């Protein structure tokens, strides 16, 4: 299984549907804690710091209601991800100025950059499709959300 296969990363990740957070920083903390609860990162606090540090350089709020906060850290040996959906949206500093609704937080090892970049590109291509975004926003359960993202 290639490490950059986004489908396996999504299947093995954490899904927050719905998250309880209502601010950007709270959501990042909640998503990282979900990863830590599944033993996908070894240190939630260090991971949060890495994601927030990356976010401080430039917002990872993209367009079309998608945000992909990410960081490289020594708290994992592979690529791990948490997915959250907030249908009503949240201000995430998106490049188009619109609220973000679909959040894909990704953390990968500082020791390898290729798989991280490929994974981000794969997720970006998937979420470019309006039909996929629409179905994700309507997902009622974590299993349904994972199914939509990995079909």
- Residue 4 scores a pLDDT above 50: no
Domains of the chain: 6-150 (3.40.930.10)
From CA 113, how far away is CA 95, in angstroms rounded?
24
Give pTM, 2 decimals: 0.93
Residue 86 host element (H or E): strand 80-90
| Tens digit of each residue's pLDDT (9 = 90 or more) over 86-145 | 999 999 999 899 999 999 999 999 987 778 888 888 999 999 999 999 999 999 999 999
| Tens digit of each residue's pLDDT (9 = 90 or more) over 26-81 | 999 999 999 999 999 999 999 999 999 999 998 899 999 999 999 999 999 999 99
Q: Let me know: does 58 contact 93? Beta carbons within 8 Å.
A: no
Q: Give Cα 138 distance to the centre of its chain.
A: 18
């Amino acid at each position: 299984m290639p490490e950059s296969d986004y489908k396996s990363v999504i299947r093995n990740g954490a899904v927050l549907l719905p998250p309880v957070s209502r601010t950007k920083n709270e959501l990042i903390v909640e998503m990282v804690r979900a990863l830590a609860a599944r033993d996908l990162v070894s240190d939630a606090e260090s991971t949060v710091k890495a994601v927030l540090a990356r976010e401080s350089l430039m917002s990872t709020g993209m367009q079309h209601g998608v945000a992909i906060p990410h960081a490289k850290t020594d708290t994992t040996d592979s690529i791990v991800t948490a997915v959250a959906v907030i249908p009503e949206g949240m201000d995430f500093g998106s490049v188009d100025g619109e609220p973000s609704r679909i959040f894909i937080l990704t953390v990968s090892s500082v020791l390898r950059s290729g798989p991280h970049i490929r994974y981000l590109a794969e997720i970006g291509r998937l979420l470019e499709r309006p039909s996929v975004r629409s179905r994700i926003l309507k997902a009622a359960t974590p299993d349904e959300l994972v199914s939509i993202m990995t079909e």
